[in-house]
Amino acid sequence: MNLFDLSLKLNGFPIKEARPVLRAIQNLDDVGFKNYIENQKTQIVNHHLNFNPFYQSLFNDTTFSTWDTVPIMTKSDLQQPLVNRLSDGFSSKTVYINKTSGSSGDPFVFAKDKFCHALTWAVIQDRFGWFNLNFNSSKQARFYGIPLDKKGYYQERFKDTLSGRFRFSVYDLSDNALEKHLQKFKTSNFDYINGYTSAIVQFAKFLEKKNLILKTVCPTLKACVVTSEMLFEDDKLLMEKQFGIPVVNEYGASELDLIAFQNPKDEWIVNSETLFVEIIDDNNQVLPYGQEGRVVITSLFNKAHPFIRYDIGDIGILSKNSTLKKPLLQKLIGRTNDMAILPSGKKAAGLTFYYITKSIVEDDGNVKEFMIEQLDLQTFKIIYVSEQELSDKQKKIIIQEIENYLEKGLNIIFERQPYLKRSESGKLKQFSSLLHNL
């Protein structure tokens, strides 16, 4: 029985009607696809100009003329009651409502009309199908957070049952907890692993210590899909080695859609069917393929709530090999609010600290996890979990490398903790700046 599809249908999401629409878009030739994109962009802007007072207030003109005059939306624009942002004809009872995780520092409640949400699931199911995974029949090993209140906890467990998935806790990554995870794999016919990158990496490190390949104890595994957190190349290689299956990088946003998904050829394919993705500079000008900038996304089908030229808060690069129909995400660099500001005035991606430190502290397997915090212009704290405290020599090497890559005179604090604090959702924020709190 197709329980997953049935659950969508019972909640009013017309997945059966969404699938042929997606296939029709995918079957367009290049000329037809270009016309489709231009028509959808025009239609969605005009729809919200005509039926959404909130969007009208953001717009610079009374009518839509050219795409480059369409304003850039930011998350701060959306931090007001949802009822103020819904289009005419929609209410909280007739739309899909959810909230962002707040990992960007700007959480808000959002809405999608039900057909748009069904299309979201049609795209997700299409992409997982690249690896012969079926949401109605494939069993998922799920490494996600879960609400800790009783009602939220049992709601998620019920969804897990309907979706054919078993949820592993990401709040406890001790060896004892990971050993229990391993035993579950030995007795379950999981088809794939899905969840937060950092937690799944810890499971791979645990398997490495035990000199175990997961597919030997769970032969039914086909793939591992990681999401929500940065995937580093050496972590991907470690997971593929210890799991014995392909590791797939997913990039999405709850308020939008699945944004990009790696295919079996290891290409990071951007969703061009239901989204229009642009890379822009600090002056809001569109950059050519191959250049780094802010990721701006338009939801082409959401009539209930505008996400038009929406600055998602990420920095990325579209490959020079991209086309309108097949955009390729070359690199996702991080979040715009995760920039480190140095005493000299220089800015650097906060993950630079993470890259530098990662290459040093994980060499001997002592350090299990770590994260970086910027406390003030000059001070950075490296919080880590390890079996033994970092030696003075290791700390000195890390400080030297940070100075080589960035600048001298920074104050680096090391703090060893028994575990890292994750968000309520279970995500691990690898770099965070406290400067905006000062």
How distant is the alpha carbon of residue 125 from its chain centre? Answer: 17
Residue 118: predicted pLDDT: 97
pLDDT above 70 covers what percent of the chain?
Answer: 94
Residue 155: predicted pLDDT: 80
pLDDT at 289 over 90: yes
Between 308 and 157, where is the model more confident?
308
pLDDT at 66 over 60: yes
Asked if the structure places residue 330 within a domain, the reply is no
Domain limits for position 417: 342-437
Mean of the pLDDT values across residues 353-366? 73
Residue 302: predicted pLDDT: 98
pLDDT at 362 over 70: no
The region of weakest confidence among 77-91, 111-125, 329-343 is 329-343
Residue 228: predicted pLDDT: 81
* 106 and 143 share one domain: no
Pair 87, 76: CB distance under 8 Å: no
* 126 and 143 share one domain: no
Asked if the structure places residue 337 within a domain, the reply is no
* 36 and 8 share one domain: yes
Asked if the structure places residue 326 within a domain, the reply is no
Residue 104: predicted pLDDT: 47
Residue 21: predicted pLDDT: 98
Asked if the structure places residue 325 within a domain, the reply is no
Pair 316, 270: CB distance under 8 Å: no
* 153 and 54 share one domain: no
Residue 183: predicted pLDDT: 97
Asked if the structure places residue 153 within a domain, the reply is yes
Nearest to 247 by CA among 197, 289, 288, 283: 197
Instruction: Tell me the C-alpha to C-alpha distance, in Å, between residue 96 and each of 99, 307, 320.
Output: 10, 15, 36
Distance CA 232, CA 355 (A): 9
Residue 322: predicted pLDDT: 98
The region of weakest confidence among 175-184, 306-315, 328-337 is 328-337
* 185 and 226 share one domain: yes
pLDDT at 170 over 90: no
* 353 and 389 share one domain: yes
Mean of the pLDDT values across residues 149-154? 76
Distance CA 405, CA 115 (A): 48
* 362 and 408 share one domain: yes
Distance CA 304, CA 119 (A): 14
The region of weakest confidence among 53-67, 158-172, 201-215 is 158-172
Q: Report the CATH number that the domain containing residue 155 is assigned in CATH.
A: 3.40.50
pLDDT at 188 over 90: yes
Between 323 and 106, where is the model more confident?
323
Distance CA 105, CA 147 (A): 20
Three-state secondary structure string covering the chain: CCHHHHHHHHCCCCHHHHHHHHHHHHCCCHHHHHHHHHHHHHHHHHHHHHHCHHHHHHCCCCCCCCHHHCCCECHHHHCCCHHHCCCCCCCCCCEEEEECCCCCCCCCEEEEEHHHHHHHHHHHHHHHHCCCCCCCCCCEEEEECCCCCHHHHHHHHHHHHHCCEEEEECCCCCHHHHHHHHHHHHCCCCCEEEEEHHHHHHHHHHHHHHCCCHHHHCCCCCEEEEECCCCCHHHHHHHHHHHCCCEEEEEEECCCEEEEEECCCCCEEECCCCEEEEEECCCCCECCCCCEEEEEEEECCCCCCCCCCEEEEEEEEECCCCCCCCCEEEEEEEEHHHEEECCCCCEEECHHHHHHHHHHHCCCCCEEEEEEEECCCCEEEEEEEECCCCCHHHHHHHHHHHHHHCCCCCEEEEEECCCCCCCCCCCCCCEEECHHHC
Distance CA 354, CA 431 (A): 7
Residue 336: predicted pLDDT: 61
Residue 274: predicted pLDDT: 98
Residue 266: predicted pLDDT: 93
* 147 and 46 share one domain: no
pLDDT at 354 over 90: no
Asked if the structure places residue 328 within a domain, the reply is no
* 4 and 123 share one domain: yes
Q: Report the CATH number that the domain containing residue 301 is assigned in CATH.
A: 3.40.50.12780
* Residues 261-283 pLDDT 10s: 999 999 999 999 999 999 999 99
* 105 and 218 share one domain: no
- pLDDT grade, residue 364 (50/70/90)? low
* Residues 233-267 pLDDT 10s: 889 999 999 999 999 999 998 899 999 999 999 99
List of residues 6+ apart from 266 with CB closer than 8 A: none
* Residues 95-142 pLDDT 10s: 999 887 555 445 678 999 999 999 999 999 999 999 999 988 999 999
Mean of the pLDDT values across residues 332-361? 77
Between 254 and 25, where is the model more confident?
25
* 15 and 59 share one domain: yes
Asked if the structure places residue 257 within a domain, the reply is no
Residue 386: predicted pLDDT: 87
Torsion of CA 121, 127, 131, 134, to 10 degrees: 20
pLDDT at 177 over 60: yes
Between 40 and 174, where is the model more confident?
40
Mean of the pLDDT values across residues 381-386? 91
Total tally of structural domains belonging to the chain: 3
* 17 and 124 share one domain: yes
pTM to 2 decimal places: 0.85
pLDDT at 311 over 70: yes
Asked if the structure places residue 251 within a domain, the reply is no
* Residues 403-434 pLDDT 10s: 888 889 999 999 999 988 887 767 788 888 88
Token representation of residue 336: 């715009």
Between 124 and 369, where is the model more confident?
124
Average pLDDT, the chain: 90
Residue 148: predicted pLDDT: 65
